[in-house]
């Protein structure tokens, strides 16, 4: 009956929707707050004629203050014990450093090693190498905001742009080459660039593309991607995991070679026309990639404010602080108590 | 207050604070001790103490079906149609904020025949923002292939779950839509034992078939899948009859479609919650089949009985200290009002607590 009566009131206040209590039982402590007001029997000094004494307004108020402090203490403790919280709210954070989106290729070819011959160490799958390299990148530069998109046929947002490094590491741990043979570079980059779309440009934005091969981009896609790069003013770092049979991007193609036969070369040529800072790192071996990691960690940014959702905002700390104040007040008032009759 | 008055107050301060020293060695001094203890406890609380203690947590691997049938908007929320995918996402997000700190959460997506693990298990409170945003960004466009072989996907997810963590549970959100129709003879068997992995198989959608929308770039409905556009029979598998003799006896089904019963399905372009098939899969795998009606249900299942994983985790010590503080408060109160007639029983039990100062000093 009681709960039925309070139900509409609770709902109107947004209980369950915007705020909630972790536990309900400490509420039974609330009635204790009236005890100081109903109980009598404090230490007293017998006096033959109380009527003859002048009323001391200050003492009366001090007494009230003392009772208020006592009540407040137990009220705020009971409230704190219920663990009140605000649901899905946002906290403001300040980010420094660059905004880095990692775009990682998950296509099937990433399962192949750099070289086919050699011992087990030399025949590490490219995916594993890429993962290790990115882990070093993620472990560095703690001011940078990072996110990750993985792609094969379609892009998947694996980690949103933020300062949660542990999460990016966990997302990297989960990457396994799989998916289809198709390498949709454009869609992966597009999704990562989209991530900057709603935010003002406050400093360096970097796209770190980690891929082992090229893909043909048709004219329309090329123009769209170029426009996106220009608009978001993001620089591009391509960590090209060259396989043994792959072409090196450092040398120009021989005269008469058909560029279409070398998709990675075509992609390289296209990236150079993007009008944004672009660098390519050829990683024939794991060490070569460290250069890229160093370059990216040099990027800087103006401090930017952004909102980050939190699961629950704990409110009990405020109640505890109130209880603390009340207890300090009680302690102070204790000193004011007369322990002996002062004539 | 005039300045002189203030001076007078300061002069009287030592006399006032005389109260501090006067009770030493007496049972009543416990009043003072109580206050000191109270303040000490609350001061410690302000620094948010926590320690590693065994804690009740929940480990979940959430897998969402992102095939196109999940775009069917057959849920209602606030007088608006909500798609099954949206509903599943909302349910996961609510669950994320309901899980106690220390719980581990991994995310995955299903399409075609397998489940892609998007993120390995992470602690839910410290990584809440990233988890929440990742779930929010899950989209049918992330599908890397268009088929939907639910049994393959579920078994794949069940295979991954124990690798993600010993106490990991699986919550698999799907409408059970099988597309294209599969040949039952070639469906995989469950390699594990029923009940190896605990969890829920969450059925999404209504049992009445609805048309599957085609969404354009802005997620607006651009049309619906028509009967002619979808594959209406399973075409995988071998003919029943392979012998020449049988063919000579005019059994000509060698080149026929090999789907279920070889008959064309009437409603392959429609999608409904396939409760029967999901229930069957749940029985095989030992998961519990449940139907999601409101987004909030997910968190009840996730924190339900039998899903608990006890683990050493960071535990907030404030409630324990606060409980102690409450007790101290009570003791202080009782000592203060020891002469009260409501507390006669108390002063009888501890005669020293009864305050006799006044009487003695008068």
Dump pLDDT digits (tens) for A179-195: 556 677 888 888 888 87
Residue that wins the pLDDT comparison between B277 and B2? B277
What CATH number is given to the structural domain containing A193?
3.40.50.410
User: What does the domain layout of chain B look like in residue ranges?
Assistant: 25-49+318-361, 53-232+268-315
Q: How many CB atoms within 10 Å of residue B8?
A: 11
Of A66-75, A145-154, B226-235, minimum mean pLDDT range: B226-235
**Average confidence (pLDDT) over A74-88:** 87
Percentage of chain B surpassing pLDDT 90?
A: 13
A286 at interface of B, judged by CB pairs closer than 8 A: no
At how many degrees (to 10) do helices B30-46 and B318-336 cross? 160
Residue that wins the pLDDT comparison between B40 and A52? B40
Contact A179, A111 (CB under 8 A): no
Q: Do B329 and A320 touch (CB under 8 A)?
A: no
Alpha helices in B147-252 (DSSP H): 150-164, 244-248
Same domain for A67 and A122, yes or no, is no
Q: How far apart are the C-alpha atoms of A236 and A100, rounded to whole Å? A: 10
Q: How far apart are the C-alpha atoms of A300 and A291, rounded to whole Å? A: 17
pTM beyond 0.80: the answer is no
Which of A77, A131, A190 to mutate to probe the B interface, most B CBs <10 Å? A77
**Average confidence (pLDDT) over A215-232:** 83
Q: How far apart are the C-alpha atoms of A44 and B355, rounded to whole Å? A: 8
Same domain for A274 and A295, yes or no, is yes
Phi, psi of B153 (to 5 degrees): -65, -45
Q: How far is CA B333 from CA A155, B161, B319, B322, B352, in A?
A: 65, 55, 21, 16, 15
Q: How far apart are the C-alpha atoms of A322 and A303, rounded to whole Å? A: 34
Facing A159 at nearest CB: one of B16, B19, B130: B130
Contact A113, A127 (CB under 8 A): no
Mean pLDDT estimate for chain A: 79
Closest by Cα among A206, A170, A166, A175 to A189: A206
Same domain for A82 and A159, yes or no, is no
Beta bridge partners of B215: B221
Same domain for A157 and A287, yes or no, is yes
Contact A147, A165 (CB under 8 A): no
Closest by Cα among B231, B232, B230, B234 to B259: B234
Same domain for A15 and A158, yes or no, is no
Contact B88, B42 (CB under 8 A): no
Q: How far is A80 from chain B (nearest CA, A)?
A: 8
pLDDT at position B223 is: 81
How many CA atoms lie less than 13 Å away from B141 in the CB half-sphere?
13
Contact A133, A286 (CB under 8 A): yes
A341 lies in a domain? no
pLDDT at position B255 is: 59
pLDDT at position B361 is: 33
Q: How far is B253 from chain A (nearest CA, A)?
A: 33
Q: Do B326 and A74 touch (CB under 8 A)?
A: yes
pLDDT at position B254 is: 59
Which residues, at least 6 apart from B203, have a Cβ–Cβ distance to it below 8 Å? B174, B175, B176, B273, B274, B275, B278, B289, B290, B291, B292
Q: How far apart are the C-alpha atoms of A238 and A264, rounded to whole Å? A: 11
Same domain for A140 and A289, yes or no, is yes
Range of the domain at A68: 2-44+55-89+311-336
Q: Is A226 exposed, middle or buried (0-12, 13-18, 19+ CB in 10 A)?
A: middle
Same domain for A204 and A257, yes or no, is yes
Same domain for A265 and A319, yes or no, is no
Q: How far apart are the C-alpha atoms of B286 and A331, rounded to whole Å? A: 60
Residue that wins the pLDDT comparison between A332 and A342? A332
Which of A34, A309, A315 to mutate to probe the B interface, most B CBs <10 Å? A309
Same domain for A205 and A257, yes or no, is yes
Strands A155-162 and A145-151 come out as antiparallel
Q: How far apart are the C-alpha atoms of B47 and B3, rounded to whole Å? A: 39
Give the tokens for residue B147: 């088929």
Which residues, at least 6 apart from B1, have a Cβ–Cβ distance to it below 8 Å? none
Same domain for A265 and A282, yes or no, is yes
Q: How far is B170 from chain A (nearest CA, A)?
A: 16
The ipTM is: 0.73
- CA B320, B324, B329, B333 dihedral sign is positive
Q: How far apart are the C-alpha atoms of B62 and B199, rounded to whole Å? A: 10
pLDDT digits (tens, 9 = 90+) for B282-299: 888 888 898 888 887 888
Q: Is B148 exposed, middle or buried (0-12, 13-18, 19+ CB in 10 A)?
A: buried
Percentage of chain A surpassing pLDDT 90?
A: 9
A49 lies in a domain? no
Confidence class for position B362, pLDDT limits 50, 70, 90: very low
Q: Do A334 and B31 touch (CB under 8 A)?
A: yes
pLDDT at position A137 is: 82
Q: Do A178 and B116 touch (CB under 8 A)?
A: yes
Model confidence at A97: pLDDT above 90: no
**How many domains does chain A fold into?**
2
A343 lies in a domain? no
pLDDT digits (tens, 9 = 90+) for A126-167: 788 788 878 888 887 667 788 898 888 888 888 888 888 889
How many CA atoms lie less than 13 Å away from A77 in the CB half-sphere?
34
Same domain for A13 and A138, yes or no, is no
Q: How far apart are the C-alpha atoms of B211 and A167, rounded to whole Å? A: 38
Cα angle for residues A52, A53, A59 (degrees, 5° grid): 155
Which of B138, B322, B341 to mutate to probe the A interface, most A CBs <10 Å? B322
Find residues 201-220 of chain A whose CB sits inside 8 Å of chain B.
none
Same domain for A132 and A268, yes or no, is yes
pLDDT at position A152 is: 81
Q: Do B20 and A41 touch (CB under 8 A)?
A: no
CB pairs under 8 A between A and B: 193
A342 lies in a domain? no
Cis amide leading into B180 (omega within 30): yes
Of A101-115, A122-136, B2-16, minimum mean pLDDT range: B2-16
Maximum distance among all Cα pairs of chain A, rounded to whole angstroms: 122
Which residues, at least 6 apart from A124, have a Cβ–Cβ distance to it below 8 Å? A113, A114, A286
pLDDT digits (tens, 9 = 90+) for B146-176: 777 888 888 888 888 888 888 899 999 998 8
The CATH architecture of the domain made up of B53-232+268-315 is: 3-Layer(aba) Sandwich (3.40)
- CA B201, B202, B206, B211 dihedral sign is negative
**Average confidence (pLDDT) over B82-91:** 90
Of B144-148, B178-182, B249-253, minimum mean pLDDT range: B249-253
Residue that wins the pLDDT comparison between B113 and A201? B113
Confidence class for position A1, pLDDT limits 50, 70, 90: very low
Q: Do A170 and B141 touch (CB under 8 A)?
A: no
Residue of A nearest to B316 (CA): A83
């Amino acid at each position: 009956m009681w709960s039925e009566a309070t139900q509409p009131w609770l709902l109107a206040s947004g209980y369950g929707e915007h705020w909630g209590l972790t536990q309900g039982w400490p509420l039974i402590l609330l009635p204790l707050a009236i005890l100081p007001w109903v109980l009598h029997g404090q230490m007293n000094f017998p006096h033959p004629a109380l009527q003859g004494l002048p009323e001391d307004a200050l003492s009366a108020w001090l007494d009230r203050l003392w009772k208020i402090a006592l009540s407040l203490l137990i009220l705020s403790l009971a409230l704190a014990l219920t663990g009140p919280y605000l649901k899905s709210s946002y906290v403001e954070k300040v980010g420094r450093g660059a905004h880095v989106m990692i775009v990682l290729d998950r296509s099937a070819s990433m399962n192949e090693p750099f070289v086919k011959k050699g011992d087990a160490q030399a025949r590490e799958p490219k995916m594993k190498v890429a993962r290790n390299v990115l882990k070093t990148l993620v472990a560095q530069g703690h001011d940078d905001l990072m996110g990750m998109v993985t792609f094969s046929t379609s892009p998947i947002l694996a980690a949103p742009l933020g300062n949660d490094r542990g999460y990016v590491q966990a997302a990297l741990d989960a990457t396994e080459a799989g998916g289809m043979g198709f390498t949709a570079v454009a869609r992966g980059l597009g999704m990562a660039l989209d991530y900057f779309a709603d935010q003002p440009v406050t400093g360096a934005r970097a796209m770190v593309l980690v891929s082992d091969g090229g893909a043909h981009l048709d004219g329309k896609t090329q123009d769209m991607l170029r426009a996106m790069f220009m608009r978001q003013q993001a620089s591009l770092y391509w960590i090209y995991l060259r396989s043994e049979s792959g072409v090196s991007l450092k040398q120009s193609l021989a005269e008469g070679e058909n560029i279409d036969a070398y998709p990675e070369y075509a992609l390289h040529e296209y990236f150079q026309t993007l009008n944004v800072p672009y660098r390519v790192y050829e990683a024939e071996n794991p060490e070569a990639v460290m250069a890229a990691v160093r370059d990216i960690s040099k990027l800087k940014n103006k401090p930017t404010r952004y909102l980050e959702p939190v699961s629950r905002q704990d409110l009990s700390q405020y109640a505890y602080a109130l209880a603390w104040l009340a207890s300090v007040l009680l302690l102070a008032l204790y000193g004011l108590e007369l322990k002996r009759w002062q004539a | 207050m005039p300045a002189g008055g203030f001076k007078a107050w300061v002069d009287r301060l030592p006399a006032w604070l005389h109260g501090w020293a006067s009770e030493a060695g007496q049972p009543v001094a416990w009043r003072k001790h109580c206050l000191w203890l109270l303040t000490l406890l609350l001061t410690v609380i302000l620094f948010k103490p926590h320690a590693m203690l065994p804690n009740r947590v929940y480990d979940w691997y959430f897998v969402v079906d992102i095939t196109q049938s999940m775009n069917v908007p057959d849920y209602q929320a606030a007088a608006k149609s909500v798609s099954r995918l949206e509903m599943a996402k909302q349910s996961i997000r609510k669950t994320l904020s309901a899980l106690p700190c220390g719980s581990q959460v991994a995310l995955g997506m299903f399409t075609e025949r397998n489940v892609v693990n998007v993120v390995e298990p992470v602690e839910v409170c410290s990584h809440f923002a990233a988890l929440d945003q990742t779930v929010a960004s899950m989209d049918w466009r992330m599908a890397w292939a268009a088929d939907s072989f639910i049994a393959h996907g579920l078994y794949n997810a069940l295979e991954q779950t124990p690798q993600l963590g010993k106490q990991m549970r699986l919550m698999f959100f799907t409408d059970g839509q099988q597309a294209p129709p599969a040949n039952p003879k070639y469906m995989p068997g469950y390699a594990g034992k029923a009940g190896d992995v605990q969890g829920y198989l969450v059925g999404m959608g209504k049992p009445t078939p609805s048309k599957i929308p085609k969404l354009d770039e802005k997620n607006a409905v651009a049309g619906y899948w028509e009967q002619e556009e979808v594959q209406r029979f399973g075409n995988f598998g071998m003919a029943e009859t392979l012998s020449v003799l049988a063919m000579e006896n005019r059994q000509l089904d060698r080149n026929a479609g090999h789907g279920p019963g070889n008959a064309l399905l009437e409603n392959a372009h429609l999608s409904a919650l396939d409760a029967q098939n999901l229930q069957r899969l749940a029985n095989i795998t030992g998961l519990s089949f449940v139907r999601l009606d409101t987004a909030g249900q997910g968190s009840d299942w996730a924190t339900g009985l039998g899903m608990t994983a006890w683990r050493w985790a960071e535990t907030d010590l404030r409630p324990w200290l606060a409980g102690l503080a409450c007790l101290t408060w009570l003791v202080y109160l009782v000592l203060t009002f020891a002469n009260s007639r409501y507390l006669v029983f108390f002063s009888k039990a501890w005669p020293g607590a009864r305050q006799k100062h006044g009487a003695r000093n008068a």
